[in-house]
Amino acid sequence: MKILVVEDEYEMLQSIEASLLAENYLVEKATNYNSALEKVLLYNYDCILLDITLPGGSGLKLLEEMKKNDMSGNTIIISAKNSIDDKVMGLELGADDYLTKPFHLAELHARIKAVLRRKEFDGKDLLRIGNVSINHKNRQFFIDEKEIELNRKEFDIMVFFTANLNRLIDKETLAEHVWGDHIDSADNFDFIYAQVKNLRKKLRESNASIELQSIYGVGYKMVEKDL
Amino acid sequence: MKIKLSSYLSFRLLGVMLTVLFIWSAVYFFVQMREIHAGIDEGLENLKQEFIRKAGTNPNFIEDMEKYRPLNIIVKEVDFYDAKDEAERYITTKVYFETEVEEEEVRMLESYFFCSLNGKYYSLKIFTSTVESDDLIKNMLYTLIALWLGLAIVLMIWGRIYINKATKPFYSVLDYLEKFQLGKSGEIDMPETSIKEFAQLNKTVKKMLRSSTEIYNEQKNFVENAAHELQTPLAITISRLELLMNEPGTTDIQIKEIHKILQTLNRMKRLNANLLLLTKISNRQYWKTDSVDLTALFEQVLGDFSDFAEHKNIHLSIVRKATITVEMNSDLAYILATNLIKNAVIHNINGGRLDMVFTENTIVMSNSGLNKPLSDKMFSRYKTGEDKMDSSGLGLSIVQSIVELYNFSISYSYQENLHTFTLRL
């Protein structure tokens, strides 16, 4: 999988790159409009992470160019501007998703995987990890080919963790992903523990080859069990 | 009671004019009377001289006088002693006239003379009609009252028209200042004035408001820029820490510590986002409006929070008496609903309740929570409940900004352990 990261902030670019490399993606970088345009026109990428404010031109302009050349690049806009207009325009110009900075890397991975999945398998994919499989389109979850009933939130949590296998997800990141942006009060995340507890129970009862580890009250990590 | 400037000026002016007129009338009356009497007295004196001359040359004059008795001359013989010390005097008195069947005011000269022909002393009274001072006073009073009334009417009308016209620039400035809202009102447009003070007032007010607006805008832009510029470093720091947290070999203690830093950064991120939102609302950057079904929106947002509500065993009740549709920006509508409902759910107690009532033009939300009313400063920035360290404290001020933007109103009350927010649309 080849991913192009278009980002003018070097430090930001670095950390995104490091995170993507850890997932074994091939990463190409562009730090300004012209080099990004050149790369986009010359090579094929499975996914493009695109900042809007770039030296030399706007990311939206790049999208326009791509659209003109009939290229679909599986683009995710990453922008510090939480502007609805930009979001709408970006999506209209063919971007697949819009992520506002600052974001969690786990969230970025989930979005990238969702975009790749949609394009690559036309949504008919079946993700397999050990004896566990997920049909994203039909929102079904199987262990040993046997369907396990999950409620809406449980399924979302499961997908988020499978997109971030072996990565520690703190509870704030999880809450934000599943319950949306407005969960800003660290009030108490007891209800998250309750949901995760249910999931763990279901995984354990069906002898799943994955498990959700609780990490020191910080969050959870999905790992494959040594069978 | 406060009185209008034009009325005040007219009344004052009228008062002064009436006093002056009154004094002038009195003076005029006395001067006029004296002038009249002086003229009459001169005539009486001439008559007397003629009379005495005739009495001294015509031996029958006195007898004739007594015989014919002219109406305006009374002659009486007196003792020498009576006449000797008496001085001549003019008086104003009343005499009965049979023809008029009433007493008439007359001017009378009382004098004494010695008739050399018969060596006798006489008293002499000569009188003539004069101006009736009563009538004069009455007439003067009537004309004066007429003048007063006329003046009063003219002054009132004049006051209304001319003073109002002259003070129009003043009132337009006053009106403008009354309606002025920093950052919302446009440039002041004041009518031209030929009055120096008002022109100066206009100039000063314009200058003052312009500099206030400039400072206000600068500050707003500063907040927006600062918040915006902070996004990137925040994003970098958060992602770097997240990478570090997943680095192999990181110890438990390090992970916990990194998590704590991340939590703080998350708080900062939200604070920043809310600040940006606030400035964007007040900068009117959310100008696109749609027809928004608030009833459906509130119910949808309530659904988003159902996990929290269920977890806290909050009893929800919704009474829908009407479906509320308003013209507003749909994103702001969502933010409004989210902040209000989040407030009611997050700050609720275990086993508490949340009641929502939708009527034609109000949304009333009552929820249980702290057993005391919220501070009356809850709509201002950075006033949070004492026990909530993690909320940005901007939620209700965001609500307030949105409410103000669309000229809605929101009020708060606390009764029987229920916090009630009433949103009027």
pTM of this structure: 0.65
Confidence of residue A14 (pLDDT cuts 50, 70, 90): very high
- pLDDT value for A5: 95
Find the Cα–Cα–Cα–Cα dihedral B15, B20, B21, B24, rounded to 10°. Answer: 160
In percent, the amount of chain A with pLDDT more than 70 equals 92
DSSP secondary structure of B76-98: EEE-HHHHHHPPPEEEEEEEEET
* CB–CB contact B242 A180 (8 Å): no
DSSP state of B160: I
DSSP secondary structure of B168-226: HHHHHHHHHHHH--TTTS----------HHHHHHHHHHHHHHHHHHHHHHHHHHHHHHH
CA nearest A16 in B: which residue? B239
Q: How many CB atoms lie within 10 A of CB A223?
A: 14
| Residue in B273, B271, B268 with CA at minimum distance from that of residue B234 | B268
| Residue in A161, A173, A167 with CA at minimum distance from that of residue A208 | A161
Q: Please say whether the beta carbons of B362 and B317 come within 8 A.
A: no
Longest dimension (CA), chain B: 163
Is A219 part of the contact surface with chain B (CB cutoff 8 Å)?
yes
> What whole-number distance in Å separates Cα of residue B205 and Cα of residue B188?
9
Q: Report the pLDDT averaged over residues B108-113.
A: 85
Residues of A in contact with B252 (CB under 8 A): 216
How, if at all, do strands A146-147 and A168-170 pair?
Answer: unpaired
Q: Give the side-chain half-sphere CA count within 13 A for B378.
A: 17
Best mean pLDDT range from A3-17, B105-119, B302-316:
A3-17
pLDDT digits (tens, 9 = 90+) for B343-387: 888 888 889 999 999 998 899 999 998 887 877 777 776 554 444
* CB–CB contact B231 A217 (8 Å): no
Q: Which one has a higher pLDDT value, A20 or B170?
A: A20
> What whole-number distance in Å separates Cα of residue B77 and Cα of residue A72?
146
CA nearest A154 in B: which residue? B307
Q: Report the pLDDT averaged over residues A112-120.
A: 83
Cβ-nearest to B390 among A16, A19, A186: A186
| Interface test with chain B among A20, A161, A182, by most B beta carbons within 10 Å | A182
For residue B9, give both structure tokens. Answer: 């000026």
Least confident interval from A38-52, A178-192, B26-40, B203-217? A178-192
* CB–CB contact B235 A18 (8 Å): no
Tokens 């979850």: give the residue.
A141
Q: Give the side-chain half-sphere CA count within 13 A for A132.
A: 24
CA nearest B331 in A: which residue? A84
Residues of B in contact with A102 (CB under 8 A): 231, 234-235, 237-239, 265, 269
Residue type, A188: N
> What whole-number distance in Å separates Cα of residue B312 and Cα of residue A194?
12
* CB–CB contact A218 B259 (8 Å): yes
pLDDT digits (tens, 9 = 90+) for A117-174: 877 665 566 788 888 999 888 888 999 888 999 888 889 899 999 999 889 998 888 8
- pLDDT value for B195: 83
Is B300 part of the contact surface with chain A (CB cutoff 8 Å)?
no
Name residues whose C-beta falls within 8 Å of residue B1's C-beta, 6 or more positions apart in sequence.
none
Cβ-nearest to A16 among B239, B255, B308: B239
Is B259 part of the contact surface with chain A (CB cutoff 8 Å)?
yes
Q: How far is CA B424 from CA B50, B283, B412, B418, in A?
A: 103, 23, 11, 19
Cβ-nearest to A185 among B243, B286, B388: B388
* CB–CB contact A172 B266 (8 Å): yes
* CB–CB contact A15 B310 (8 Å): no
Q: Please say whether the beta carbons of A184 and B270 come within 8 A.
A: yes
Q: How many CB atoms lie within 10 A of CB A98?
A: 23
CA nearest B253 in A: which residue? A216
> What whole-number distance in Å separates Cα of residue A40 and Cα of residue B32?
112
pLDDT digits (tens, 9 = 90+) for B63-83: 777 777 777 788 877 877 777
> What whole-number distance in Å separates Cα of residue A85 and Cα of residue B221?
19
* CB–CB contact B246 A191 (8 Å): no
> What whole-number distance in Å separates Cα of residue A138 and Cα of residue A159?
13
Q: How many CB atoms lie within 10 A of CB A209?
A: 15
Q: How many CB atoms lie within 10 A of CB B285?
A: 16
Is A11 part of the contact surface with chain B (CB cutoff 8 Å)?
yes
Angstroms from B201 CA to nearest CA on chain A: 43
Cβ-nearest to A102 among B228, B234, B342: B234
Residue B174 clears pLDDT 90, i.e. is over it: no
* CB–CB contact A172 B346 (8 Å): no
Q: What are phi and psi of B122, to 5 degrees?
A: -135, 150
Is A126 part of the contact surface with chain B (CB cutoff 8 Å)?
no
Q: Please say whether the beta carbons of A58 and A86 come within 8 A.
A: no
| Interface test with chain A among B245, B289, B399, by most A beta carbons within 10 Å | B245
Angstroms from B243 CA to nearest CA on chain A: 7
CA nearest B347 in A: which residue? A187
Q: Please say whether the beta carbons of B340 and B423 come within 8 A.
A: yes
* CB–CB contact A218 B236 (8 Å): no
Tokens 């971030």: give the residue.
A164
ipTM of the complex: 0.86
Burial of residue B268, with CB atoms counted within 10 A of its CB: 0-12 exposed, 13-18 middle, 19 or more buried? middle
Is B310 part of the contact surface with chain A (CB cutoff 8 Å)?
yes
Residues of A in contact with B338 (CB under 8 A): 182
| Interface test with chain B among A174, A184, A213, A222, by most B beta carbons within 10 Å | A184
Is B235 part of the contact surface with chain A (CB cutoff 8 Å)?
yes
Least confident interval from A50-59, A81-90, B3-12? A81-90
pLDDT digits (tens, 9 = 90+) for B375-386: 777 777 655 444
Residue B389 clears pLDDT 50, i.e. is over it: no
Cβ-nearest to A190 among B231, B242, B311: B311
